[in-house]
Structure 1
Amino acid sequence: MDKEKLDNEFEKLWNETPVSNPEGIKEASWKKFHSETFAIKKQKSKPWRYYAAATILLFVLIGTGMYFNTENETENVVLAGNVIENKTTKIKQVILPDSSRIDLSPDSKISYADNFALNRKIEVVGEAYFQVKKDKQHPFLVFCNETTTTVLGTSFTVKGFKEKEVTVELYEGSVQMNVKGRDQKWILKPGEKFTYGNHGASISEFSRFVDFDNEKLTVVSTYIEENYGYKVILPKEYQNQKITIRINKKEDLKTIVQLLSEMYNLNFEINEDLKQIAFQ
């Protein structure tokens, strides 16, 4: 991808900020970020800002799932055979029979039938983040209270405890929302949130990225610790290094670690037992 095309795509992504931000602030922020990111400098190290830009564009280009029109299937759904409950205080990772992945939040539960590979229907109580494997022949349906989320291949979060409102946040792809007893359908785009409660439904925007604008590398380390549960150890000489980058809030941890490794020419080691990442 040439620089002009990369620049244009990157600017579109940067402008994906909440609508509450004034256009003047967005424009000024972009100009500042653009001048720093694409400035021509003589340097011995790798051009890490281009690594960052390429990775950010990757968030846009992958996960192009499509919605699948079905009738409202919230009626008389019985899912049995497999029940997984997270009674811990940490997120639990679950790999489904079709290789889709779920990050199941504490105090949350999922259930699905034994023939899941052919009947991709799953019920959620609580909160779960889904990364769905594409299968055009078998749509993936998530039931939560009175709502149904229908998807072929994408990533999204579903949150809904019993007798409380349901929210669905879409990170990649496209999904269709249905509500029990209603003929209306809602189609979500990345960055949109569907909310249903008190018999009312609405769509609003949310920020699916976190921005680090000329921040110390230790700030990114803290973000990883707070959101992924891994302690990050950096060489002393890198702790005050500055970084400007935008990260998908639901990005895979290893992708982020590999990116930082490339940006600063560092090796890393992940210790799963200690939940620790050491750069060197």
Structure 2
Amino acid sequence: MQFRYEDFEKFQKGLMEKQEAERFLNWINSPEGEQAAQVWIEKEWENFDHKDGATDQKITKIRSLPTPFKWKNIAATVLILLSAVAVFYFNSQSTPPVEYQLSEIPKEITRTSPKGKKLKVTLSDGSTVHLNSESSISYKSNFNESRVLELTGEAFFEVMSDSTRPFKVITRDIATVALGTSFNINAYEEKEEILISLSSGKIKIEDTEDNSKESFFVQPGQSIGYAHKDRILRNKDIAIEKAIQWKSGILEFEDKPLEEVLFTLERWYGVSFSTIKGKIPYHKCSGKFKPNEYLDNVLEALSHSIEFEYTIENKDVKLNFK
């Protein structure tokens, strides 16, 4: 293997491939390579002497080439330096370059069902969320990594099973955690109590503001109420079928104040109620209506037990209490 004078400079600047550099080092340690190194050093010395003389032509410097004995010392020194360069050379080539990437900031995603509408949302992990009227969920664009979302209003969740990534729903100051299950959460803002009903699987409820509290585990068919005032979880005697019948368009009131019923009707039908005369009386209502019943039929039924008249103009409903 023969190397040229230019190869010394090529090696010195780190322009050789790793295998070529290895062959160059083996050659330079041979008698032929040592002789070539000596020639290279002589030329470098002459070039340096020429440049130095051109810098100041008024000063005459007597320079003599080193004796053969000195050449051996210089050549040995050069070999040591070249070996040092080789260590750096191979380390820099064997270590892959570090790639720096700017991590993308996750974006906030919100899905909302307006008044009078329901919405089905399929999440990136395969889980499904059924949003009731005037409800919303918010989550990050990297949801598939954390499986955490926030709920306002009411929704029924069908969660894909994944034992390594719990599915967490945050509603104000509590979190409902599931692995693979289906459950309903009613957490409308005006209600004093959050209602959580488990259809299948297993969930636990955590206090997001007090880590010292133990998690509460819920069994299938069980409903739990959480009151904000005292921050206490209570068992509720509510059948799971009733808790999720809104998904099928079934509207039911069971001993509910009229004002709360009107709130529900506003969401359900996307209307607004106002009174022409008098205030909304405190009156409890009960009733169950077939799927997707007309608003006119619902109000007609309510007016039989509570004396009032009503008019419907587009999305505005005016009530006149007698």
TM bracket (short chain) = 0.3 to 0.5
TM-score (norm 2): 0.40
Structure with greater contact order relative to length (CA < 8 Å, sep ≥ 6): 1
Which structure has the larger Rg? Answer: 2
